[in-house]
Amino acid sequence: MIIVLKPEASEENQERIKKDIESFGLKVWVSRGEFRTIMGVIGDETPLRDMPLSLYPGVEKVIPILKPYRLVDREHKGEDTIITLSTGTAIGGKEIVVMAGPCSVENRESTLKIARSVKKAGAKALRGGAFKPRTSPYSFQGLGMEGLKILKEAREETGLAVVTEVTDPRNVGLISEYADILQIGARNMHNYDLLKEVGKVRKPVLLKRGLSSTVKEWLLAAEYILNQGNNEVMFCERGIRTFEDSTRFTLDISAVPLLKKTSHLPVIVDPSHAAGRKDLIPAISKAAIASGADGLLIEVHFDPLQALSDALQTITIAEFSQLMEELRALASVLGRKL
């Protein structure tokens, strides 16, 4: 931690800062420059994080040097984390894992039909929401418990892993019994009570990026989960909110290689929510793979016109199968497989 003093800071100001920092057992050095005096802290600055050093008399600004996260950091763990699902699929290794399915679980028949089709096209996991967070209270809110049972049946029949969203800390235990991957949605990335709860179970977590979260805040959200003992977290980039309104969100493609460098955890991309329109999904999916993503999360339906939610960004099974072909060719050139 670096503390820059104001030109007018007094000796007394310096002494107070020094004394208070040293009370945490840390050492302080001082460098007097032509324009500014600078103080630095030697040692682990974590205990100082909540200390309002900027408010101390004579302080101009405080600059943290160490990163605020630790467990998710590649400096903490050098090798890639590979998450092996109970179905045997490994996420974060050589294989690119595609998770596909309807936005919401609508009924038994349609879910099973979609599950069989995406499995055939090469998907390794079935996505589908049973508990849906919706912007409007007047929109379809999901089948709840009923939906979980349908997902479980689809899992048993097809061997696909199941990814489904958890929105309420009270439901974490229940959903863990049905799902292979617990999804934390974008609107809940900052829901710390929920993060702590999924940190206590032993289920892989797919952590979507908050609509307006920086990569650093996203890493800290994952840190909440790892800090509770659950190390199997994968990031899912799904677009951030910007001024551009011709797509639903702006997919931050640079976040993919950035996360791969910064953290050891796998990175998934959700082109469907980012685009909000089906015509861009193939192009964005290819870009995601080319940028180094470990997997994709795609909304697929045999008849998007019948989908109860997110129909505009849902591709058909024929389009999905075609896309999988193209992604397979791409993966091979990139030294991966799909």
Query: What's the token pair of residue 133?
Result: 């967070």
Bridge partners (DSSP) listed for residue 32 = 37
Q: Which of the ranges 115-123, 150-158, 175-183, 191-199 carries the binding residues for a second copy, by CB under 8 A?
A: 191-199
> By CB under 8 A, what part of segment 277-316 binds a second copy?
278-280, 283-284, 286-292, 304-305, 307-309, 311-312
DSSP, collapsed to helix, strand or coil, labels residue 257 as helix
Q: Which of 100, 105, 206, 251 binds a second copy (CB under 8 A)?
A: 251
What separation in angstroms does the CA of 200 have from each of 154, 196, 242?
27, 7, 34
Interacting residues with a second copy between 318 and 337 (CB under 8 A)? 329-330, 332-334
Q: How far is the CB of 334 from a second copy (least distance, A)?
A: 8
Distance CA 231, CA 236 (A): 16
- 38 scored as a contact of a second copy (CB under 8 A): yes
* Segment lying near a second copy (by CB under 8 A), choices 89-97, 119-127, 145-153, 219-227: 219-227
- Residue pair 232/83 in contact by the 8 Å Cβ criterion: yes
- Tell me if 40 contacts a second copy by CB under 8 A: yes
Spatial neighbors of 26 by CB under 8 A, at least 6 apart, are 41, 42, 43, 44, 45, 47, 48
Binding mask 63-82 for a second copy (x = CB under 8 A): x-xx-xx-----x-------
31 makes contact with a second copy (CB under 8 A) = yes
Query: Kind and range of the H or E element at 163?
Result: strand 161-165
Whether the Cβ atoms of residue 132 and residue 142 lie closer than 8 Å to each other? yes
Please say which residue, 81 or 104, places its beta carbon nearer to a second copy.
Answer: 104
Closest CA to 27 of 1, 54, 58, 57: 1
Q: 85 or 102, CB closer to a second copy?
A: 102
Q: 97 to 136, contacts with a second copy by CB under 8 A?
A: 133-136
The residue within the footprint of a second copy, chosen from 258, 319, 321, 322 (CB under 8 A), is: 258
Evaluate whether 43 touches 26 at the Cβ level (below 8 Å).
Answer: yes
Tell me whether residue 6 or residue 153 sits nearer to a second copy (CB atom).
6
The candidate with the shortest Cα–Cα distance to 61, out of 32, 24, 95, 36, is 36
Question: In the bound complex, what is the minimum distance in angstroms from residue 33's beta carbon to a second copy?
Answer: 4
